[in-house]
Amino acid sequence: MKWLDALLGRSRPARSNLEPLFAMSSAYVTLSVQLGLAPAGRGGVCLRPVQSTRFAQARDELRAIVGGAGTQVEFAEDPLGFLWVLITSASFEELVAAMHMTSLTLQEHGFAEQLLAAVFPFQRDGAPVYLIYNYKRGRFYPMAPDKGDHERDNAEELRLGSLLERELPMEPDQARWFPLWGMPL
């Protein structure tokens, strides 16, 4: 069927790649010790808005499976109308596992094409730093907001990207390091 799609000029959306999310657990030592980044104890999975009874079932399943001992699950919408599954956990390893389970559950319910990004917020010297995972590309990239409105610290992002490339699958095309403003994290 792929050759017929190519012949007729149709393209299929890229499938979400979930496995690299687990790389965050092994990168934790580098993030905290070498880079001085403290995890915020929460994370979020961003997806395109969904209105269906299937999503209501997925939401209930996420609350039952992911929300449990020490892990909380909430749902929010950002100013642009994107849906967020917000996960809070005191343990970074449990947070990573919960983010993966959330992604897997949404994929199993047929929402793989709606998955956009997983966001891991950190703090350094009181300033936020985010590691963003692009599901379609299967790669991470940093976002370091600067003090201005919708401004980024590009030098810090480049530094973090180069320091983390041994630990995480980093997006090599910096033009794809899209900022996510207005995250409900």
pLDDT value of residue 52: 79
Residue 131's DSSP bridge partners are 120, 142
Q: Is 182 a member of any domain?
A: no
Q: Is 9 a member of any domain?
A: no
Q: What is the number of domains present in the chain?
A: 1
Secondary structure of the chain as H, E, C letters:
CHHHHHHHCCCCCCCCCCHHHHHHHHHHHHHHHHCCCEECCEEEEEECCCCCHHHHHHHHHHHHHCCECCEEEEEEECCCCCEEEEEEECCHHHHHHHHHHHHHHHHHCCCHHHEEEEEEEEEECCEEEEEEEECCCCEEEEECECCCCCCECHHHHHHHHHHHCCCCCECCCHHHCCCCCCCCC
Residue 150 is which amino acid? H
Q: Is 2 a member of any domain?
A: no
The boundaries of the domain holding residue 169 are 16-176
pLDDT value of residue 96: 93
pLDDT value of residue 13: 47
CATH at 63: 3.30.70.600
Q: Is 11 a member of any domain?
A: no
* Cβ burial 78-95 (10 Å sphere, 16+ → b, else e): beeebbbbbbbbeebebb
Per-residue pLDDT 10s for the chain (185 aa) are: 454 454 455 454 445 566 778 889 889 988 999 899 999 999 999 999 887 788 888 889 998 888 776 899 999 999 999 999 999 999 999 999 999 999 999 999 999 999 999 999 999 988 999 999 999 999 999 999 997 778 999 999 999 999 999 999 999 999 999 999 999 99
pLDDT value of residue 25: 87
Q: Is 34 a member of any domain?
A: yes
Record the pTM: 0.88
Q: Is 163 a member of any domain?
A: yes
pLDDT value of residue 53: 83
Helices 92-108 and 53-65 pack at an angle, to 10 degrees, of 150
Q: Is 165 a member of any domain?
A: yes
With a CB cutoff of 8 Å and minimum separation 6, the contacts of 68 are none
Residue among 39, 30, 19 nearest 119 (CA): 39
